[in-house]
């Protein structure tokens, strides 16, 4: 005779409605490593990573960036070595940023149009090495201007339309040097359409455009400006062309315009403080959407890890999967080689 018959009543939980405990125990799928992997909703791989690199002049030199522990400025020969490393780790692309000699910085940003400038030489060196890797170059004037702004200063303001003319010239020399992707980060109105038209006219129609479509006037960029040497040159701030931190609908308008003008993919910058923007953009437009885990985000995590306040490896991976969860197709991150090694170790 069953216990049910003995007691004269049904088992304790037999009358529970579907969806209630203990019929549903959420912890069942979490109880083992293999089940957690089996049901994972989002995954991170080396394919999702883009490695930003800082280029300096010279040979066989590494110069630490004090505000970004573990990050160094590299001469072109070492940039090529880093690109080899990226290929070996399965990282699909690197993004190059120059630390231009102050003597070459000018009000008109003329070194940006020099086909033999730092990033163009670094790009050709990677191409000459025969590496199967994407090269992303930043389209903006701040590494080349004496005032540190992304555009040309005429009188007391950033002149949008004159800046467009400069950005077109910069884009053409970068594309001709072998850039796979041009990434306009200047936030001038109309620059995607202007650059796309110029590329088409020059027979460079295969060059991709990754627009920094929703780039905010953020305080998280400080260490990056140290790395490219624009911290000391910047006069004023960038709030007349970069976005206000409180705005979200404006980001969607910016993205929509850039897509209409010919962007192949878009970016949100900064990353973690703007995960809501990443999610809205990726859901609204269904276009490859990238996020930049910027220098300030990296520096915060590294500084906390150095003090023993956070477990660096765990917060690194947790922060990166957050971008995937929000809908990002990929992430520009200074953690790229370290994260790729960690992912390779678990394959």
| CATH code assigned at 135 | 3.20.20.70
Q: Among the listed ranges 10-14, 320-324, 342-346, which one has the minimum average pLDDT value?
A: 10-14
Q: What is the CA radius of gyration of the chain?
A: 24
In sequence order, the β-bridge partners of residue 195 are none
Name the percent of the chain lying above pLDDT 90. 84
In a domain, 230, yes or no: yes
- State whether residue 141 is helix, strand or coil: coil
In a domain, 25, yes or no: no
pTM (global) more than 0.85: yes
pLDDT tens-digit series, residues 119-173: 999 999 999 999 999 999 999 999 999 988 999 999 889 999 999 999 999 999 9
CB atoms within 10 A of CB 43: 11
Per DSSP, the residues of 215-246 read EB--GGGHHHHHHHT-TTT--S-STTTSBPTT
Contacts of 321 (CB under 8 A, 6+ apart): 42, 44
pLDDT for res 127? 97
Total domain count, the chain: 1
Packing angle, helices 160-177 and 118-128, rounded to 10:
30
pLDDT tens-digit series, residues 3-12: 444 555 655 5
Which of the residues are catalytic? 215, 269
In a domain, 332, yes or no: yes
Which residue shows structure tokens 């020969």? 77
In a domain, 17, yes or no: no
Distance CA 277, CA 206 (A): 28
pLDDT over threshold 60, residue 177: yes
In a domain, 228, yes or no: yes
Q: What is the largest CA-CA distance in the chain?
A: 96
In a domain, 89, yes or no: yes
Alpha helices in the chain (DSSP H): 3-7, 33-38, 76-89, 118-128, 160-177, 191-201, 222-228, 249-261, 275-285, 295-306, 312-326, 336-346
Domain with 233 in it: 43-346
In a domain, 36, yes or no: no
Q: How many helices (H) and strands (E) in the chain?
A: 12, 12
In a domain, 8, yes or no: no
Query: How confident is the prediction for the chain on average, in pLDDT?
Result: 93
């Amino acid at each position: 005779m069953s216990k049910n018959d003995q007691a004269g009543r049904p088992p304790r939980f037999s009358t529970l409605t579907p969806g209630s405990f203990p019929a549903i125990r959420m912890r069942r799928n979490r109880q083992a490593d293999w089940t957690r992997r089996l049901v994972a909703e989002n995954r991170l791989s080396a394919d999702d990573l883009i490695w930003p690199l800082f280029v300096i002049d010279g040979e066989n030199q590494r110069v630490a960036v004090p505000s970004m522990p573990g990050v160094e400025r590299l001469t072109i020969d070492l940039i090529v070595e880093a690109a080899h490393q990226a290929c070996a780790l399965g990282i699909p692309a690197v993004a190059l940023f120059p630390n231009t000699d102050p003597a070459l910085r000018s009000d008109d940003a003329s070194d940006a149009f020099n086909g033999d400038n730092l990033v163009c030489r670094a790009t050709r060196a990677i191409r000459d090495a025969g590496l199967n890797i994407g090269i992303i170059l930043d389209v903006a004037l701040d590494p080349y201007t004496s005032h540190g702004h992304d555009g040309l200063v005429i009188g007391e303001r950033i002149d949008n339309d004159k800046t467009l003319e400069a950005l077109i010239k910069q884009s053409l020399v970068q594309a001709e040097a072998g850039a796979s992707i041009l990434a306009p980060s200047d936030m001038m109105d109309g620059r995607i359409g202007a650059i796309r038209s110029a590329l088409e006219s020059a027979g460079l129609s295969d060059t991709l455009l990754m627009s920094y479509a929703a780039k905010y006037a953020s305080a998280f960029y400080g260490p990056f400006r140290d790395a490219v040497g624009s911290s000391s040159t910047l006069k004023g701030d960038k709030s007349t062309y970069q976005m206000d931190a409180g705005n979200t609908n404006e980001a969607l308008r910016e993205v929509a315009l850039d897509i209409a003008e010919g962007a192949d993919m878009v970016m949100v910058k900064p990353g973690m403080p703007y995960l809501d923007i990443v999610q809205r953009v990726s859901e609204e437009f269904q276009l490859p959407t990238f996020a930049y885990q910027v220098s300030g985000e990296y520096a915060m995590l590294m500084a906390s890890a150095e003090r023993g306040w956070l477990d660096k490896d765990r917060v690194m991976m947790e922060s990166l999967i957050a971008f995937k969860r929000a809908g990002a197709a990929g992430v520009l991150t200074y953690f790229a080689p370290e994260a790729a090694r960690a992912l390779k170790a678990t394959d």
